[in-house]
Amino acid sequence: MTARTTVAVVGAGPAGLVLAHALRRAGVEATVHERLSRAELERTARAGVLEHRVVEYLRSLGLADRLTAEGERHGECEITCLGERVPVDYGALSGGVRHWVYPQQLLVRDLVAAYEEDGGTVAFESPVESVALDGDGRPVMRTAGGKLRADWAVGCDGARSTVAAALPGGADGAARRYPYDWLTVLARISRPVERIRYAVHADGFAGMMPRTADVGRFYLEVPAGEELSGWDEPRIRAELERRLALDAADPALGALLETGMLRMRGRVARRMRAGRLLLAGDAAHTVTPSGAKGLNSAVADVADLAGALAAAVRGDHGALDGYQQRRLEAAWRTQEFSDRLLELLHLPAGLPPEQREFALRLRLERIHRIARPGPEGAEFARAYAGAGELPVAGVWPPAQRTAVASRSTGR
Ligand code: PHB
């Protein structure tokens, strides 16, 4: 049996779900296909730090009620180096722009619930297995439930995107594999993480990030390709406590709930559109976790795409013309931010031990510069917290733009 839809949204992560919502609000018919089961999707712990402008955009769609009721505002982080703890008050440095902390899996749960309330459905455990184009250049997809024909297909299906693979000539662009990985830990903690902590350390970076009142996310730099099996629990705990210099005033580490290895890479596709096939989020670009930009840039992609695609569906195909260029430029800005932060947080690969102090001292100098009021601090702070508005300009009806601007106050 062949089903038909206007827009096939492939993937029900934050990008796919927000896009489906925005299309629905614009009166565009869409289907959402997700490989995972609902339980798996809503259990997968990933990001948790949301930019100011992303939350403002979600608010404008009415999708941030729970997030803003239960999430926490964060405007300060701390970077430690050579025994110094340097607070970075990026909320003040940026002129009042702060993050929201709310775990990604809770946001996904809220987005699925809101989409269903609106009358939408997500097809879970229904991966799009392949995408081909018919004689008119329209996508034809194979799913577990049969064939699906659409006017447009949007790949929000992550780094191994089926839609990206179907772009004629491929979408592969430039990529970098970093010479280290991050061991990831989700752990019970005795009290909330009050501010993100980055530890720049001779033995490797470590990080402590907030999630909920009793759960934190931790990172440890390890050599690239390191196997998790070499890291038993006592070793992980000891290394986190040592590099982060956890003391009595810090959250105490409780049970380790989840551990993993995050292979550190950056990549940006060569293109995000071929005819009626479009890409958004990780399907088009992977950014390392440094700076917490992955989820944020995925939502920024679809904020741009939704309006343009709705216009294209109504017959204005030119509306999509600038999408790829705008979002590839944004993807490179994001890569550059994340890469620069990585450089600050890690010592150069292969640095002999006797030269580490020098490299650490240089990093401490830079940490002081970004922590100090002034142009450099302000630039870092604004990019870090996501100042301004998502670029939805020009494609949304005026009422929507007003709503975004007028709700920028409050918590
Ligand atoms: C995180 O919350 O996982 C996170 C936050 C900030 C970073 C990196 C990771 O720079």
**Domain span at 276:** 3-74+96-175+266-348+387-400
Helix (H) or strand (E) holding 148: strand 146-155
- If phi over 0 gives left and psi between -120 and 50 gives alpha, with beta otherwise, what is residue 193? beta
Residue 216 three-state SS: strand
Average pLDDT, the chain: 94
CA–CA gap between residue 317 and residue 321 (Å, rounded): 8
CA of 408 to the centre of ligand 1 (A): 24
pLDDT at 49: 98
Q: How many residues are given for the chain?
A: 411
Give the CATH number of the domain where residue 56 resides.
Answer: 3.50.50.60
Instruction: Name the burial class of residue 318, with classes exposed (0-12), middle (13-18) and buried (19+) by CB atoms within 10 angstroms of its CB.
Output: exposed
Task: Answer whether residue 313 is part of any domain.
Answer: yes
Does pTM surpass 0.75? yes
Give residue 345 CA to ligand 1 midpoint distance, Å.
12
Q: Would the pLDDT of 404 be above 90?
A: no
| Separation of first and last alpha carbons in the chain | 50
- Tell me the backbone φ, ψ of residue 236, rounded to 5 degrees: -60, -50
Rounded to whole angstroms, the Cα distance separating 92 from 305 reads 32
Residue 221 falls inside a structural domain = no
- 383: CB partners within 8 A, 6+ apart: 337
pLDDT the model gives residue 405:
39
Q: Are 144 and 61 in contact (CB under 8 A)?
A: no
Q: How far is the CA of 49 from the centre of ligand 1 (A)?
A: 7
Summarize the chain as % helix, strand, coil (round to 5): 40, 25, 35
pLDDT tops 50 at residue 397: no
Residue 166, in any domain of the structure? yes
| pLDDT single digits (tens) 161-186 | 999 999 998 889 999 999 999 999 99
154-158, 282-286, 346-350, 387-391 — which is least confidently predicted? Answer: 387-391
363 belongs to a structural domain = no
**Domain annotation covers residue 17:** yes
Residue nearest to atom 10 of ligand 1 (CA): 291
Q: In the chain, what percentage of residues exceed pLDDT 90?
A: 92
Question: 346-378 pLDDT, tens per residue?
Answer: 999 999 999 999 999 999 999 999 999 999 999
For residue 355, the 8-state DSSP code is G
- Return the pLDDT at 145: 86
In a domain, 107, yes or no: yes
Q: What are the backbone angles phi and psi of residue 324, rounded to the nearest 5°?
A: -60, -45
With a 6 Å cutoff on the Cβ, whether 215 touches ligand 1 is no
Q: Is residue 253 part of a domain?
A: no
Q: Is 209 in the pocket of ligand 1 (CB under 6 A)?
A: yes
Domain assignment present for residue 20? The answer is yes
Its sign, for the CA torsion 399, 49, 15, 64, is negative
Q: How many domains does the chain have?
A: 1
SS3 of residue 63 by DSSP? coil
Pocket test for ligand 1, best of 44, 46, 49 (most atoms within 8 A of CB): 49
Burial 72-87 (b: 16+ CB within 10 A, else e): bebbbbbbbbeeeebe
Which atom number of ligand 1 is nearest to the Cα of residue 210? 2
Ligand 1 lined by 216 (C-beta under 6 Å):
no
pLDDT tens-digit profile of 27-70?
999 999 999 999 999 998 889 999 999 999 999 999 999 999 99
